Amino acid sequence: MPLIRTATTSCGVVRGLPAADPRITSYKGIPFAAPPVGDRRWRAPQPCAPWEGELAAYDFAPICPQAVTSKNKDNIYTREWAVDDDPHMDEDCLYLNIWAPAEGQTGLPVFVWYFGGGLQVGATNEMEFDGERIARRGVVVVTVGYRLNVFGFLAHPELSSEGAFSANFGFLDQQFATRWVRDNIQAFGGDPDNITIGGQSAGGMSVSAQMSHKPNEGLFRRAFIMSGLFAQVYPGKFGLCADQAAAEHRGERFLREVLRVNSIQEARSIPWQDLLAASLGWQEGGMWPASVDGAFLTSPPDQWYLREDRVRCPVMLGSTNNEFRMAPAAENEAELRAYAAGIQGLDLARFMGAFTPPITRESILSQGDVNPLDIAARAAGARAGQPVFVYEFGADIPGWDNPGAFHSVDLWFFFETLAKCWRPFIGRHYDLAQQMCDYLVNFIKTGNPNGEGTAGGQLPFWPVYDPDEPVVMSFYDAAKPVLYPLGEVAQLLLQAWLARAGAKETPEGREAGQ
């Protein structure tokens, strides 16, 4: 039987190419929506137009316009994978890529991936999440392009008057693409009723956003969150989600003060190159966050497990041991007390008693240091209503920069793409990557990471997370389940965060839980 290199979608026939392993076909640059340009800028995605003949799905499509981070040669992500100084960018960026087994298999589980980058940068062509190694294990892998920064997350009162979905266009793109996958993936050998969504960093936040949107019920069966942003346990950290009023006010200022236009319609006529330059040059601009718009998002994504009106499904989540560390913004005991007094619901006496005197900046940093993802894991384990599997990644990472287990480095391991990296990984790293990819694939297939590994035999058992006796899968030199109790400071912060987040379900009261 010849290997399959074509598939018929709702818009036409696509032809792919053999991957490095010819038993896998890669289809790159498949349009899943109409180009979001002109009058379709800042609108919900629309279906793509059909084409005649075969679409040559041989190469990645243009990426969403964004800052070119590779120009900063001191940036660790430049060294890691943002290597192109002149990437092909275009506002016409709603495309996806598929890696599918080519030997005629059917009914295969499907993995839909949302990349990270703070909702501001990132692309599907990054080499660390090449889908071939996962596809070799009998999974159809899909990576989704979506709108970013000002193109994907501008909010404005005029947009709110145009229709129900008037913000969070990047999240709408992800949802639209996942629906396209449901409707078309059988042509690639996939099972439309067995879809897992996954993402890392802002992609993990995107997974949380999709779970927060109740109408997505049934669209996917499980979710994988790598280093997503959760649980703002200390005030003033992270800014990837805003309330709608603040987001709209910011959008008004951008049009008035930066673009110098009077309407959204005028702003839609500005060339994308000029729009991007204006956004990046706006000194007050910073990042363009998602917004609690009342339509797609009715609460911040980090609260997905606190809400009753959400998608319920098995979740696998975790982080590296060297990211998102947070400590109180205080230099001494008096400042610490004042700072802690401003945290709603915190037991101030117990919190202060958890610090060993004398309380100095050094002791505040060491004893007050928490990882919000640790806290989020416990909260999710207690309230998700479905199995939650938690991991921590802390393998030694080789290289002249001695980076530690930095944010995003575990992507090389879960996708088993270490051979694409410049770092001098050795045998134990490849063995660990094989295990981690096996766990992920088992979860994609069944909703449970346990099972056989590709090397033969059963993988080390990964228990469902129990917040009363929390065991996480520790990925260091090898996979090993480890009891992982919270310290006193983190326990108090968890209690306070859950109390204020869980008590705020009305639109007027959501801000305190963000």
Distances (CA, A) of 178 to 145, 341, 377: 11, 44, 26
Torsion sign (Cα): 254, 205, 299, 342: negative
Q: What are the backbone dihedrals phi and psi of residue 153, each rounded to the nearest 5 degrees, phi first?
A: -140, 20
Q: Which residues contact 58 (CB under 8 A, 6 or more apart)?
A: 15, 16, 17, 28, 29
Tokens representing 249?
A: 């006010």
Q: What are the backbone dihedrals phi and psi of residue 126, each rounded to the nearest 5 degrees, phi first?
A: -70, 135
Q: What is the 3-state secondary structure (H, E, C) of 405-450?
A: CCCCCCHHHHCCCHHHCCCCCCHHHHHHHHHHHHHHHHHHHHCCCC
Round to whole Å and give the CA distance between 116 and 124.
10
Count of other CB atoms within 10 angstroms of residue 257? 10
Strand (E) positions, 261-361?
290-292, 315-320
Count of other CB atoms within 10 angstroms of residue 490? 20
Round to whole Å and give the CA distance between 406 and 112.
24
Q: Give mean pLDDT in consecutive 10-residue pieces for the chain, a chain of 514 residues.
A: 94 98 98 98 97 97 91 80 89 98 97 96 95 98 98 96 89 98 98 98 95 96 88 67 90 96 97 97 86 92 84 94 84 94 93 93 90 79 86 95 93 97 96 97 98 94 91 94 89 85 43 29
User: What is the three-class DSSP state of 43?
Assistant: coil
In the chain, what are the domain boundaries? Answer: 6-326+370-483
Rg (CA), the chain: 23
| Confidence (pLDDT) at 503 | 53
Q: Which residues contact 47 (CB under 8 A, 6 or more apart)?
A: 10, 11, 33, 34
Are the C-beta atoms of 122 and 38 separated by less than 8 Å?
Answer: no
Round to whole Å and give the CA distance between 122 and 148.
8
Tokens representing 357?
A: 């005197």
Length of the chain in residues, anyone?
514
Cα–chain center distance at 113: 8
Round to whole Å and give the CA distance between 250 and 44.
20
Q: 260: which DSSP letter?
A: -
Q: 344: which DSSP letter?
A: T
Round to whole Å and give the CA distance between 120 and 279.
11
Q: Kind of pairing, strands 479-483 and 315-320? A: unpaired
Cα–chain center distance at 40: 25
Are the C-beta atoms of 416 and 133 separated by less than 8 Å?
Answer: yes
Domain 6-326+370-483 belongs in CATH node 3.40.50.2000: no
Q: Kind of pairing, strands 17-18 and 54-56? A: unpaired
- Residue pointed to by tokens 């392009």: 145
Q: Would you say the pTM of this structure is higher than 0.85?
A: yes
**Residue 272 host element (H or E):** helix 272-281
Q: 226: which DSSP letter?
A: E
- To the nearest 5 percent, what fractions of the chain are helix, strand and coil? 35, 20, 45
Q: Kind of pairing, strands 290-292 and 241-243? A: parallel
Q: Which residues lie across from 7 on neighbouring strands?
A: 14
Alpha helices by DSSP H, 65-201: 76-80, 132-135, 149-153, 157-160, 169-184
